[in-house]
Amino acid sequence: MLLGCIGDDFTGSSDLGNTLAKAGMRVVQYSGVPTGPADPDVEAGIVALKSRSLPVEEAVRLSLEALEWLQEQGCQQILFKYCSTFDSTPEGNIGPVAEALARELEADQVIFCPAFPAAGRTVYQGCLFVGDRLLNDSGMENHPLTPMTDPDLRRWLALQSTVGVGHVPAATVWQGADAVRDRIAAESDAGKPFVICDAIRDEDLLTLGAAADGAPLITGGSGIALGLPENFRRQGLLSPEPPVWEGQVGRVAVLSGSCSRATRGQVAHHIGLGEAALEIDPREVLAGTFGAMDAAEWVLGQDGAPLVFSSADPRTVRAVQAEYGTEEVAHALEEFFADLARYLVDGGVTRLITAGGETSGAVVEGLELGQLDIGPEIAPGVPAIRAGEDLVLALKSGNFGAEDFFDRAARMLGDEG
């Protein structure tokens, strides 16, 4: 294993897997820290944690465990992957996890760059944009768990960090990798070892990737990985043979716990296509009057690509959170989707599409899927995944995918894969 990655959620980890696999690396995503050694032909290993919204100490502990395992596999470089919308709170977890990893790796210059231009995320003047909107005006300010209310990443990361936060402006990135390295070193010398890097095009991310050659620790969205495989390829370390992908026949189901704008559009579109859809009321789940078994029975009685969703608009989400508590609602729904996924796979579903990072994490953990092989891209940031002989998955980030994503994923995971 050359590149060791720690993902703070499951969709984000598969997004990273997609980038690395497209660039020709053999990638495996692990659910949590594995107990045994990795297959020897894995070139990039991603330990997916569900640590984005955990208490800080727990996120740090899990990330350090992941680091230890990746180091045991011989990784030369560590990448900490977080969301391209920098999902975090003023307490963490991006800053504290990065600090712990940097301490362990003795890294005194650490790149931070969530940019992912293919999905509309760009960083300019230290601020994060989603399309033509600043982050705090993109819908992310209403996220159920990590509302992003400040687009200035230097300010937001500084709130979460005990070390200084510097900046590499776009003008420096455009001068090339050497200029970036010089600027990062200067920021570090000035007491700012954490450096937010501007990037508005894939070329900028390739420059940052080249500048990161040999760095013990890099952090970012999946975009920051664009340029990394080339560093290993140049050294003749990558296998020339891409892995082969085969689709999966059988029943399909879509589970959506994401309340993000893009997902809500996909839910509406899927219903508009005439597919069967079942909306979950969190109150009924919390009260125990409607459970995963009820939903499973409904799904298994449908044709096509049935959808079970709790996706709701911000006002509805806020109302139920105010009534029952944010964590209580999230926990109940995630448990519901995890149980539902188990019943569905037991009932013969072989193609499972999940929307939402926390939701997907709960499902993958609920299914106890240890190793996920990353296949071809379904949409930017979302690969097809094989989770064993009879099960394929698409773990969609809340904000990713075009309106027809669910239908497209069902087809690509199947015979058209």
Ligand X SMILES: Nc1ncnc2c1ncn2[C@@H]1O[C@H](COP(=O)(O)OP(=O)(O)O)[C@@H](O)[C@H]1O
Ligand Y SMILES: O=C(O)[C@@H](O)C(=O)COP(=O)(O)O
Q: How far apart are CA 74 and CA 351, in angstroms?
A: 34
Indicate whether 17 belongs to the interface with ligand Y (CB under 6 A): no
Indicate whether 9 belongs to the interface with ligand Y (CB under 6 A): yes
- Residue whose C-alpha is closest to residue 177's, from 168, 165, 189: 168
Residue 317 interaction partner, one of ligand Y, ligand X, none, beta carbon < 5-8 Å per kind: ligand X
- Residue whose C-alpha is closest to residue 52's, from 390, 362, 373, 293: 362
List, in sequence order, every residue forming a beta bridge with 238; answer none if it has no partner. none
Q: How far apart are CA 164 and CA 372, in angstroms?
A: 37
Q: Give yes or no for a contact between 164 and 188, defined as CB atoms under 8 angstroms apart.
A: no
| Closest separation in Å from C-beta 142 to ligand Y | 13
| Closest separation in Å from C-beta 83 to ligand Y | 4
| Closest separation in Å from C-beta 109 to ligand X | 30
**With respect to ligand X, which residue has the nearer C-beta, 334 or 373?**
334
Instruction: Say which residue the tokens 């690969």 belong to.
Output: 383
Cβ neighbours, 10 Å, residue 64: 17
**With respect to ligand Y, which residue has the nearer C-beta, 10 or 194?**
10
Indicate whether 122 belongs to the interface with ligand Y (CB under 6 A): no
**With respect to ligand Y, which residue has the nearer C-beta, 45 or 380?**
380
Q: How far apart are CA 309 and CA 350, in angstroms?
A: 19
Q: Give yes or no for a contact between 117 and 223, defined as CB atoms under 8 angstroms apart.
A: yes
CA angle 144, 413, 23 (to 5 degrees): 80
| Closest separation in Å from C-beta 266 to ligand Y | 13
* Side chain identity, residue 402: A
| Closest separation in Å from C-beta 249 to ligand X | 28
Region 261-300 residues binding ligand Y, contact defined as CB under 6 A: none
Structure tokens at 358: 């926390």
Indicate whether 11 belongs to the interface with ligand Y (CB under 6 A): yes
Region 372-401 residues binding ligand Y, contact defined as CB under 6 A: 381, 397-399
Mark 218-257 with x for binding to ligand Y (rule: CB under 6 A) and - for no binding: ---xx-----------------------------------
Residue 310 interaction partner, one of ligand Y, ligand X, none, beta carbon < 5-8 Å per kind: ligand X
Residue 320 interaction partner, one of ligand X, ligand Y, none, beta carbon < 5-8 Å per kind: ligand X
Residue 15 interaction partner, one of ligand X, ligand Y, none, beta carbon < 5-8 Å per kind: ligand Y
Residue 231, SS3 per DSSP? helix
**With respect to ligand Y, which residue has the nearer C-beta, 163 or 363?**
363
| Closest separation in Å from C-beta 60 to ligand Y | 19
> DSSP letter string over 117-153?
GGGTEEEETTEEEETTEEGGGTTGGG-SS------BH
Residue 329 interaction partner, one of ligand X, ligand Y, none, beta carbon < 5-8 Å per kind: ligand X
Structure tokens at 188: 């570090």
| Closest separation in Å from C-beta 399 to ligand Y | 5
Mark 74-103 with x for binding to ligand Y (rule: CB under 6 A) and - for no binding: ---------xxx------------------
| Closest separation in Å from C-beta 179 to ligand X | 35
Residue 85 interaction partner, one of ligand X, ligand Y, none, beta carbon < 5-8 Å per kind: ligand Y
- The residue of the chain with the least Cβ separation from ligand X equals 398
Q: Give yes or no for a contact between 115 and 221, defined as CB atoms under 8 angstroms apart.
A: yes
Q: How far apart are CA 26 and CA 16, in angstroms?
A: 12
Residue 415, SS3 per DSSP? coil
Residue 196, SS3 per DSSP? strand
Structure tokens at 244: 């082969």
Indicate whether 107 belongs to the interface with ligand Y (CB under 6 A): no
Residue 257 interaction partner, one of ligand Y, ligand X, none, beta carbon < 5-8 Å per kind: ligand X
| Closest separation in Å from C-beta 373 to ligand Y | 18
Q: How far apart are CA 292 and CA 161, in angstroms?
A: 40
**With respect to ligand X, which residue has the nearer C-beta, 315 or 389?**
315
Q: Give yes or no for a contact between 141 and 147, defined as CB atoms under 8 angstroms apart.
A: yes
Which residues are near ligand X by CB under 6 A? Answer: 143-145, 257-260, 263, 282, 310, 312, 317, 320-321, 329-330, 333-334, 356-359, 397-398
Indicate whether 5 belongs to the interface with ligand Y (CB under 6 A): no
- Residue whose C-alpha is closest to residue 340's, from 385, 369, 305, 308: 308
Chain residues in the site for ligand Y (CB under 6 A): 9, 11-12, 15, 83-85, 116, 221-222, 356-357, 381, 397-399
